Structure 1
Amino acid sequence: MLAPLSILAVMALVATLLNPGREDFAWFLRLRRPAWLSFEGLIPFIWIAIYACFYGSALLSWRASGSWPLMLGYLVLLLLVQSYTLLICRTRSLRNGTVVGFAGWVWGLALTIAVGPVSAPGWLLLVPYLLWSPVGTLVTWQMQRLNR
């Protein structure tokens, strides 16, 4: 019972600490988006699903291996993912978001490869992030061009 609560507590703490303030986020919301981004209202729900997958993957990996290095890998991925919006908002630079988004995808791929031999379900639960992350990075890259 300790592992599920600990993983959840760490995720909630990181999400809380790396959340931009209202004023910063309001700036981000005022930026122009690509015309093809018609599903923006679904993005928060997509991220909730991805975070649930992170949680399930980390829990399954922990139960299968008890590996602290893997848990550190999940923490680094969470820090990269959660810092994306905060970094964009604080620096007012979409380029920083593109870089962090790409770095998160590379780290996520490495973590997925590391989790593969330990937990097949854990590996599969990281795939939604690997599929979604390039979409977010592409949106950010295109937003750079629209918001010079």
Structure 2
Amino acid sequence: MIPAWLVIGGVALLVALAINLLLRGDLKWFFQLRRPRWLTFERAIPVIWTVIFVCGGWSAYIVWVAEPGTSQTWGLMAGYLLLEIVTLLYTPIMCNFHSLKIGAAIGATGFFVCLILSLLVLPVSGWAVALLLPYLLWSPIGTFVTWKMIPLNPGAA
């Protein structure tokens, strides 16, 4: 039997690859946008998101191991999958539509999906919720940065 951590990681990787292959965003457009002067940590953002995705996968693993195969657990796995999809859609959708407002909306949506998922996961495992905290802390920052870029790039609103 395949270990649960491998299945969860494999599904997450396949979803990420599928979204990145099927929905290529106009990254050139995004990298040409002006950023706030105080945005000095942009190079750390890929590392931050990597940590967040690892924590999310670990959280899903804890939930699965707590009650494997139940309908409630499958529902929570669907919630984790939805969170991953919303998060990964941020860049290609925003870049394809050339709209920072759409990016901010997707960022805010991810926060609320994670908040609802955290509330649903809480009765199963406090540790699983704790591993979702990096998402809940970072997502509003990323959304705020996107929102603050709108006045600097009026044509990209």
TM over 0.5: yes
TM normalised by structure 1 equals: 0.95
Q: 1:59 pairs with 58, 61, 80, which one?
A: 61
Matches within 5 A, 1:1-148: 1-19=2-20, 21=24, 24-66=26-68, 67-148=73-154
1:2 Cα deviation after fit: 3.2
In structure 1, what residue type is equivalent to 2:63? S
Corresponding residue SS for 1:31: coil
RMSD: 1.2
Looking at structure 2, the residues matched to 26 and 13 of structure 1 have their Cα atoms a distance apart, in angstroms, of 25
Looking at structure 1, the residues matched to 75 and 151 of structure 2 have their Cα atoms a distance apart, in angstroms, of 38
1:125 Cα deviation after fit: 0.1
Q: Which runs of 5+ in 2 are unaligned?
A: none
Q: Which runs of 5+ in 1 are unaligned?
A: none
- Identity, in percent, stands at 46
1:85-135 alpha-carbon deviations (Å, 9 max, x no partner)? 111111111111111111110110000111111011111000010000000
Corresponding residue SS for 1:145: coil
In structure 2, what residue type is equivalent to 1:11? A
Looking at structure 2, the residues matched to 71 and 50 of structure 1 have their Cα atoms a distance apart, in angstroms, of 17
How many residues are paired up? 147
Looking at structure 1, the residues matched to 8 and 33 of structure 2 have their Cα atoms a distance apart, in angstroms, of 34
Which structure shows the higher helix fraction?
1
Looking at structure 2, the residues matched to 86 and 65 of structure 1 have their Cα atoms a distance apart, in angstroms, of 35
Corresponding residue SS for 1:146: coil
Looking at structure 2, the residues matched to 12 and 25 of structure 1 have their Cα atoms a distance apart, in angstroms, of 21
